[in-house]
Amino acid sequence: MRKIAVVEDDPDELSRLTGMLETLGQCVLFGDGQSFLKALHRDTFDLACIDWNLPDVTGVEVVKRIRGGSLAPTLPIIMITARSTDDDVVTGLVSGADDYVTKPVRKAVLLARVDTLLRRLSPQADDHLERFNDYIFDRSRDVVTIRGEEKVLTTKEFNLALLLFRNLHRPLARSYMLEEVWGPSAKVSSRTLDTHVCRLKTKLGLTPANGYSFGPVYGFGYRLEKANPAAELAAG
């Protein structure tokens, strides 16, 4: 299930937005900008709806800090505000927001724009197959094919690998990975996640020699990245 951050200081508006968005994912609520920025150091979100007029820092400043940071620079962001002049819209978009919705928010408009941004996170699938260069994921068999060689994984390993490839270059929090693969109510230790990560790195050959860099993000979680061109050339 997608995790959507809603940053809004008005309790009534927060409730309305949550009611609109709950069909698209799990809403996590924040009443100010600083609490949301701190949350980015311990959790991963798939999208954020951020109000402009927050009690501590402005929504524009929150967006700028996210775009200039290292944990969630590509996070899809919709700015939601009563400001509606052309200059306001330009300011919001230039700050780094992906879209801009004015109040009063119309449910159909908000859902359409959120859905559009969320769909960008998932690559186009060919029936039950998802392709990431040399890695082909067959969701019907929990099998990954790498340059013609099939790698049979457990269901949890397969789902974890697919999560990582769908979020290439994006740091994923431990809590987010555990919820996405084992479920939000599962009681699973971080050691279990570490064990699965080690197995995947070996089984799928996720090393610079094969074009990938895969490792921990200190104090946060894990990140899978394409190795830089120089490393790939040296490996070849």
**58-74 mean pLDDT:** 92
pLDDT digits over 190-227, tens only?
899 999 999 999 999 998 888 899 999 989 999 999 88
Q: Which CATH superfamily is domain 3-119 in?
A: Response regulator (3.40.50.2300)
pLDDT digits over 135-174, tens only?
999 988 889 999 899 998 999 999 999 999 999 999 999 9
Query: pTM of the prediction?
Result: 0.78
Predicted confidence band of residue 25 (pLDDT cuts 50, 70, 90): confident
Please, what is the Cα angle at 122 between 15 and 195, to 5 degrees?
A: 95
Say whether 135 sits in a helix, a strand or coil: strand
Q: At residue 79, what are phi and psi to the nearest 5 degrees?
A: -90, 130
Q: So what's the pLDDT on residue 188?
A: 84
CA–CA separation, 154 vs 141, rounded Å?
10
Q: So what's the pLDDT on residue 167?
A: 92
Residue ranges, comma separated, of all CATH 1.10.10.10 domains in the chain are 129-235
Whether the per-residue pLDDT at 96 is higher than 50: the answer is yes
Residue ranges, comma separated, of all CATH 3.40.50.2300 domains in the chain are 3-119
b/e sequence 36-53, b meaning 16+ C-beta within 10 Å: bbebbeebbbbbbbbbbe
Distance of CA 108 to the CA centre of its chain: 23
Q: So what's the pLDDT on residue 113?
A: 92
Within 13 Å, how many C-alpha atoms sit on residue 121's CB side? 19
Q: What percent of the chain has pLDDT over 90?
A: 67
Predicted confidence band of residue 228 (pLDDT cuts 50, 70, 90): low
CA distances from 102 to 23, 30, 51, 109, 129 (A): 21, 19, 10, 10, 38
Which residue type occupies 235? A
Q: Using CA of residue 65, residue 34, residue 93, residue 125, what is the dihedral sign?
A: positive
Longest dimension (CA), the chain: 58
- Domain covering 129-235 in this structure, CATH number: 1.10.10.10
181 token code pair? 């693969």
CA–CA separation, 226 vs 3, rounded Å?
25
Q: So what's the pLDDT on residue 30?
A: 96
CA–CA separation, 17 vs 104, rounded Å?
11
Within 13 Å, how many C-alpha atoms sit on residue 40's CB side? 25
CA–CA separation, 97 vs 94, rounded Å?
7
